[in-house]
């Protein structure tokens, strides 16, 4: 193992929760950069250890916090998948800034690359516009373009939230939001086949409570609000032109509409003058860092960081 691992905590911007964070720091290499993780939905930073092992070997720190309602930032099971009563995603975004401040203090003068996966990519896209000066580059992984069903989903969530309460967990909403993801894959691969072609990774996920819960309706409301905000003309127009960005995905990732939604994001960023690159991996699914070709992905990330963030 070529890194030292440690956990830290800090108070959330919501004034209620204590946020868990993890740092993977090279033990032998000179520190050249920091990759700050914004993890996905029903996810946590500890799942990025494979990425950390690859990056720390090249002198790149991997650091990140578990979002409110996720991983080690949860105090009771009832808190899984819940951000806040209203505008919870704004607290989550602010917590990313608090984590960034910690990183900047601990590793002064070192470039920081924000890497957001899935829901974390939605947050990273919002963060990149709000706190542009705090990062040197952004990697948008497993993201989504516009969804025509989103207006219906937002109305439905408001109704369910009104009648059932903000912490209600709806299997129906979950099936609407995520139920179609597995339809394009062989049933024999399991319910998580859409995540990765690596069967061992799929098999291990349901056994961990941190990756096996249903989002609250309030959590889905935040998810839909973010997805709406990041696919407007204004968002693409206002994305910082001097911030190097990399959009990466598998071309068999249903979250990105099998490459179509991902290309939409890339094309519109390019249209409005963003400094953006695109990489789609043939046959790969949603979680590139847990894919069968993950070593290729790690190598490409390192090369891009060296070229775009360390120049």
Lowest average pLDDT, out of 42-56, 107-121, 125-139, 165-179, goes to 165-179
Q: Is the pLDDT of residue 204 over 90?
A: no
Q: Is the pLDDT of residue 149 over 90?
A: no
Q: In this predicted model, what pLDDT tens digit does every residue of 96-113 receive, in sequence order?
A: 999 999 999 999 999 999
Q: Average pLDDT in the 287-301 region? A: 97
Q: Average pLDDT in the 154-172 region? A: 93
Q: In this predicted model, what pLDDT tens digit does every residue of 223-234 receive, in sequence order?
A: 999 999 999 999
Q: Is the pLDDT of residue 1 over 90?
A: no
The predicted pLDDT at position 110 comes to 97
Q: Is the pLDDT of residue 189 over 90?
A: no
Q: In this predicted model, what pLDDT tens digit does every residue of 250-281 receive, in sequence order?
A: 999 999 999 999 999 999 999 999 999 999 99
Q: Is the pLDDT of residue 122 over 70?
A: yes
Lowest average pLDDT, out of 27-31, 113-117, 227-231, 301-305, goes to 27-31
- State the Cα–Cα distance between residues 204 and 133, nearest whole angstrom: 38
- State the Cα–Cα distance between residues 86 and 83, nearest whole angstrom: 8
The predicted pLDDT at position 145 comes to 96
pTM of the model: 0.96
The predicted pLDDT at position 94 comes to 99
- Separation in Å, CA 69 to CA 48, 116, 168, 310: 18, 17, 14, 34
CATH of 3-145+230-308, one of 3.40.50.1820, 3.10.290.10, 3.10.620.30, 3.40.1160.10: 3.40.50.1820
Q: Which residues contact 30 (CB under 8 A, 6 or more apart)?
A: 59
The predicted pLDDT at position 172 comes to 86
| Helix/strand/coil percent split, the chain, to 5 | 45, 15, 35
Look-up of token digits 């690859």: 54
The predicted pLDDT at position 236 comes to 98
Q: Average pLDDT in the 149-157 region? A: 89
**CB distance 245 to 138 below 8 Å:** yes
β-strand pairing of 276-281 with 33-38: unpaired
Token digits of residue 272 = 């409005």
Q: Is the pLDDT of residue 213 over 70?
A: yes
Q: Average pLDDT in the 158-163 region? A: 93
* DSSP assignment letter at 212: S
The predicted pLDDT at position 206 comes to 63
Structure confidence at residue 177 as a pLDDT band (50, 70, 90): confident
Token digits of residue 304 = 């891009």
């Amino acid at each position: 193992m070529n890194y030292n691992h440690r956990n830290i905590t800090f108070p959330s911007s919501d004034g209620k929760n204590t946020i868990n964070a993890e740092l993977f720091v090279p033990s032998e290499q000179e520190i050249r950069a920091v990759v700050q993780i914004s993890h996905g939905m029903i996810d946590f930073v500890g799942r990025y250890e494979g990425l950390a092992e690859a990056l720390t070997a090249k002198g790149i720190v991997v650091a990140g916090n578990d979002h409110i309602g996720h991983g080690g930032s949860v105090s009771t099971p009832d808190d899984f998948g819940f951000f806040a009563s209203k505008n919870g995603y704004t607290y989550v975004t602010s917590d990313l800034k608090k984590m960034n401040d910690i990183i900047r203090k601990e590793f002064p003068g070192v470039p920081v690359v924000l890497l957001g996966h899935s829901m974390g990519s939605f947050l990273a896209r919002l963060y990149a516009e709000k706190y542009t000066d705090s990062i040197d580059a952004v990697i948008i992984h497993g993201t989504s373009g516009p969804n025509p069903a989103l207006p219906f989903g937002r109305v439905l969530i408001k109704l369910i939230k009104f009648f059932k309460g903000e912490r209600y967990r709806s299997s129906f909403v979950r099936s609407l939001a995520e139920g179609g993801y597995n339809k394009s894959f062989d049933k024999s691969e399991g319910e998580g086949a859409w995540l990765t072609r690596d069967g061992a990774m799929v098999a291990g996920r349901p056994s961990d409570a941190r990756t096996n819960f249903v989002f609250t309706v309030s959590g889905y409301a935040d998810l839909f609000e973010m997805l709406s905000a990041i696919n407007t003309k204004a968002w693409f127009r206002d994305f910082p032109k001097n911030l190097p960005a990399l959009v990466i995905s598998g071309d068999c990732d249903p979250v990105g509409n099998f490459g179509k939604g991902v290309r939409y994001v890339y094309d519109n960023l390019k249209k409005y003058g963003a400094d953006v690159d695109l990489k789609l991996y043939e046959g790969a699914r949603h979680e590139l860092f847990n894919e069968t070709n993950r070593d290729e992905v790690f190598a490409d990330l390192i090369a891009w960081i060296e070229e775009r963030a360390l120049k």
